[in-house]
Amino acid sequence: MPTNATTRPGRPPAVVLLSGGLDSATALACCLRDGLEAHALAIDYGQRHRRELDAARDVAVAAGARSFRVVTLDLRAVGGSALTDSIDVPKSDAGAPVDAGIPVTYVPARNLTFLSIALGLAEVLGARAIYLGVNAVDYSGYPDCRPEFIAAFEQVARLATKAAVEGDPVEVRAPLIDLTKADIIRLGASLGVDYSLTHSCYDPDDSGRACGRCDSCRLRAAGFRDAGVPDPTRYAPGARA
């Protein structure tokens, strides 16, 4: 797939932030459902594994995204997260509640940084929409997944971009923000998302198999159970999701 494809006449372009997880894969499907030409953007930010980047590419290709590109930046230089620093990923047994509060898997300013990059790409492509799969219901307490943050970023985008100053602002669309994980999975299934291509685990084994015990694995597994949809996740031996 070309990494720097130009837009084509017909469908308006949109940028989709694609992590390789089930939420962003569903957001990509929503973009295509809305009749837009999807340009998928993944960020290699120094996360503790590359499995999600491989998944993002697989999801983009399978969905028929117009382009897929990876932007590299090193948030390990900032650290402060179990995903970018030498901090253990918290794990719990299946059925245990996800801890309240902001967990150590929160990456400081991650969505703020990612959206800024997506905004720049949107200007280059002439896109007037950015899609991302943040969710404020079944999530791990991240402050940059809330509607207030999305609204505030849109306001910043209106002030900071040439397109907006000239009267053509970029809209940030978070179609999953008010859905439960089960609702997201049902929506994605109705749109034909192949969830076997997605990856959500914070700490997979060397073969890319999910640990089944991190917060992301447990939220994902509970979502499939609650949705009544078979879970296609490849778990490591002994994983308890």
For the chain, give every domain's residue range. 13-227
Please state, as a whole number, how many other Cβ atoms lie within 10 Å of the Cβ of residue 191.
Answer: 15
Question: Which DSSP letter does residue 10 get?
Answer: S
Q: What is the pLDDT of residues 57-102, one digit of tens each?
A: 999 999 999 999 999 999 999 999 999 999 999 888 766 666 667 8
CATH (one of 3.10.440.10, 3.40.50.12280, 3.40.50.620, 1.10.3720.10) for 13-227: 3.40.50.620
Q: Of 232 and 50, which is predicted with more confidence?
A: 232
143 vs 92: CA distance, rounded Å: 22
Mean pLDDT, the chain, rounded, equals: 91
**Per-residue DSSP letters for 40-105?**
EEEEE---S-SHHHHHHHHHHHHHT-SEEEEEE--GGGT--STTTSS-PPPB--TTPPPPSS--TT
Rg (the chain; Cα; Å): 17
Q: What is the pLDDT of residues 163-188, one digit of tens each?
A: 999 999 999 999 999 999 999 999 99
57 vs 198: CA distance, rounded Å: 10
Q: What is the pLDDT of residues 196-238, one digit of tens each?
A: 999 999 999 999 999 999 999 999 999 999 999 999 999 998 8
pLDDT in the model for residue 169: 94
Question: Taking the complete model, does pTM exceed 0.85, yes or no?
Answer: yes
Q: In a 3-state reduction of DSSP, which class is residue 202?
A: coil
Residue 220: exposure state from Cβ atoms within 10 A (0-12, 13-18, ≥19): buried
When pLDDT is cut at 50, 70 and 90, the band that residue 119 belongs to is very high
Task: Taking residues 11-16, report their average pLDDT.
Answer: 97
The packing angle between helices 22-33 and 181-190, to 10°, is 50
